[in-house]
Structure 1
Amino acid sequence: MDIEELIKSIAIEVLSKMKRRVLLFITGGSVNIKEVFIALRENSMIQYSIVMSDAALNVIPKEYIESIDGKLINEKSEMTKEISKADLIVIPVLTRNTLSKISNGISDNLVTLGISEAIMMNKKIVAVKDSFDPNNSVNIYLGYTRNKAYNEMLLKYLKVLEDMGIEFVNAEQLKDKINDFFNFNIETKKNNKVVKKIFSGVLTLEDILCIEGKLEELCIKKGTTISPLALDYVSNNKIKICYVEEKE
């Protein structure tokens, strides 16, 4: 093995260890799922494991699942291990059926059992509510929100799960919620100014994350070495790179 192949293999191993572990529980909803899966696949620093209901296997397009390059889990024992190891639990598609079951303590399939176990382990859980939310514009358009009592029942179940620690977001908020949880976003709430930074020497991910404000452009002196993690971050956040000449 030559030196370049050795460096590449080491970098791959380091990157795999640095990736954050996210466990997905996916049910058979269809509202805004394209937007959801675009958000899930946009960060290469995340390693996904996936548990799907039977309905999800029939409803969610296969190419959506393949696009996030996750490991499918079909066994209870393996699922429990993944729940323990996961840095974050995400329910990107949550149907009315599954919402009702887990809020009432019903665990009758791998997904409902896994979510219940994650709640009991007090894991951080983020759930996308679009598929069941009576205030969602798609559900309103389809006519699924005309019964006030039924809407109130769904919102009551949402409140039950919120009290258990589950955080609910809309599909459009999912990407930022995940990035915020892992500190992937470089824009701070205290300082929203746009900044331009010039680097030389060795540029690491830590250097970028220490910058206050929204970094839109990296100016790098020729000869600067960019670490693999920093390069991934720049790519994922669409940060422009420009190269500048070293002044005499």
Structure 2
Amino acid sequence: MIGIEQLIEKIINELQIRKKKILVVCFGSNLEESIIYDLLEREYLNCQYEFVFSDAYKKNFDTRKWEQLGNTIETYDQNIQKRLQSFDLILIPYLTRNSLAKLAVGVADTDPLSIVLQCLLNGKQILASNHCWNLDTDNAAYRELNNNFFLKNLYEEYQANLLNMGVDSLPLTAWKEAVENFFEEDDSPIKENKQIDYSTDKIFTLNDVKENPGNFKLSKNKMTDLAKEFLLDLQNKEE
């Protein structure tokens, strides 16, 4: 007969197994922090958070508030690289202009950037809020940051690059809704198959290809470099 302590331990373990694992990567801004913190705090009991902070964030802002919600990853090493595969979702609540530019061209000169790029290679779902760099916001207009059309177009090109790589960069309200939708998703193993348009005019991302790799051909479909790399690696394993 199972004792009370063993029963409690079993229940706790089952609850932990069902919890979604979310990695939150914070770059050097805290714009709209209260909205973002309230959102993550609301779902605290339904998931397991881990946090990564850039040096700029740690220098300018207090991380202790976030550390009440989850553990912190301090360094990027082989053990962390393996653990990244266990996360269900990657959140970037503060995508700054500097981090946007670096990610868009694949630069990984800091641990947080390296972690995000590794998650891209692993095909993880990544949601980034663009309110820190988007020049169409009221905040940018108030600070008169929206007068350089060349820079504005450049940032929009970077955003397009991120989308092709597998990062959804969204306005804060849309980002918040996407995170809420993720929490509301059914965790049942039986899920409705996503309908994908395999038209040759569409450029497919790594996430598209990983869902149905057998339906894609390198010679027929247009796809991002990460998607091509994934298919080539898969073909080499099968040979």
| TM-score, normalised relative to structure 2 | 0.70
Structure 2: which 5+ residue stretches go unaligned?
Answer: 189-239
Please list, as runs of the form range in 1=range in 2, the aligned pairs for 1:123-162 lying within 5 A after superposition: 123-162=124-163
> Under a length normalisation based on structure 1, what TM-score does the superposition of the two structures give?
0.67
SS in 2 for 1:70: strand
Q: Quick check: 1:30–1:59 contact (8 Å CA) kept in 2?
A: no
**Displacement of 1:107:** 0.9
Among all aligned residue pairs of Structure 1 and Structure 2, give the percentage whose two residues are the same amino acid: 22
Structure in which a larger fraction of residues adopt helix: 2
State the alpha-carbon separation in 2 of the partners of residues 108 and 81 from structure 1.
19
CA distance in 2, matches of 1:171, 1:79: 28
* Count of matched residue pairs: 186
- Mapped to 1, the partners of 2:61 and 2:79 lie a distance apart of 22
Provide runs of 4+ in structure 1 moved above 6 Å: none
With over 3 angstroms needed to count, the CA separation of the structure-2 counterparts of 1:172 and 1:64, relative to structure 1, is farther
* Segment drifting more, 41-50 vs 3-12: 3-12
Amino acid at match of 2:77: K
Q: CA RMSD in A?
A: 2.3
Give 2:107's aligned amino acid.
Answer: I
SS in structure 1 opposite 2:83? Answer: helix
Mapped to 2, the partners of 1:179 and 1:26 lie a distance apart of: 19
Determine helix, strand or coil for the equivalent of 1:48. Answer: strand
Contact 2:120 2:165 in 1 (8 A): yes
- Greater CA radius of gyration, 1 or 2? 1
Matches within 5 A, 1:180-219: 180-184=181-185
Distance 1:73 1:179 in 2: 27
Q: Is the 8 A contact 2:51 2:67 kept in 1?
A: no
**How far apart, CA to CA, are the structure 1 residues paired with 2:115 and 2:11?**
33
Correspondence for 2:79: 78
Higher percent of residues as strand? 1
Partner of 1:239: none
Tell me how far apart the structure 1 counterparts of residues 66 and 127 of structure 2 sit (CA, whole Å): 19
Find the aligned partners of 1:6 and 1:86 in 2 and give their Cα distance: 28
Asked whether 1:8 is paired with 2:5, we answer no
State how far apart, in whole Å, the 1-side matches of 2:31 and 2:160 are: 21
Indicate the residue corresponding to 1:28 in structure 2.
28
Query: In structure 2, what is the Cα distance between the partners aligned to 1:135 and 1:182?
Result: 28
Query: Which SS does the other structure have where 2:184 is aligned?
Result: coil
- Give runs of aligned pairs for residues 215-226 of structure 1, distance below 5 A: none
- Tell me what 1:37 maps to: 37
* Alignment gaps of 5+ in structure 1: 186-204, 207-248
